[in-house]
Amino acid sequence: MTARSTPASADSISELGRKMLRLHLTKDVGPIRTQRLLEHFGSVDAVLAASPAELERVEGVGRRVAAAVRAAREDASVEQEIAEAARGGARILCRYDPEYPWLLRRISDPPTCVYVRGTVQVEDALGVAIVGARKCSHYGVEQARRFAEGLARAGLTIVSGMARGIDGAAHL
């Protein structure tokens, strides 16, 4: 990512992105199950409209996951997640968004959604992952932030999983 040029806002995610985010936030529905659901039903709209019995016909989707997908249709956490990301200066991109990082598209199980600060550019092929302990010292958090800031200023893309601790500090 480069310096932010597109301000984050709750309006920055498409309707398709919101629907994909529903799947992304659904317990036990990761990238592989999402891909299976989309391949089986043909669209995210069809996935979200499917009955539990229809959902259970998909490989790896049992009763519990089918119930979770059905519940996701009414889940208000999507708007909360979008607002929280915007408050943190991030945008949410789903894998169908034109800005979705092209290198992620090439892996076998790309994340359904990613959180982005700054702009995604083709040149973002050079990235650095900053990962570490969830339970870390104040010094560790400071250093993760310092490294991330310096590397980003040098033009490198910072990649992290947004977990608590070092990973999250890399995005602050």
Q: What is the pLDDT along the chain (172 residues), one digit of tens a residue?
A: 433 344 445 567 889 999 999 999 999 999 999 999 999 999 999 999 999 999 999 999 999 999 999 999 887 889 999 998 898 888 899 988 888 888 888 888 888 988 888 777 766 667 777 877 778 888 988 888 898 888 888 888 877 666 677 777 776 6
| Comma-separated ranges of CATH 1.10.150.20 domains in the chain | 10-116
Pick the CATH number of 10-116 from 1.10.150.20, 3.60.15.10, 2.60.40.420, 3.20.20.70: 1.10.150.20
Distance, in Å, from the CA atom of 36 to the CA atom of 77, rounded to the nearest integer, reads 23
**Separation in Å, CA 152 to CA 2, 116, 157:** 7, 13, 6
Say which DSSP state 10 is in: G
| pLDDT computed for residue 51 by the predictor | 95
By residue count, the chain amounts to 172
Q: Is residue 42 packed enough to be buried (19+ CB in 10 Å), middle (13-18) or exposed (0-12)?
A: exposed
| pLDDT computed for residue 39 by the predictor | 95
| pLDDT computed for residue 1 by the predictor | 42
| pLDDT computed for residue 163 by the predictor | 63
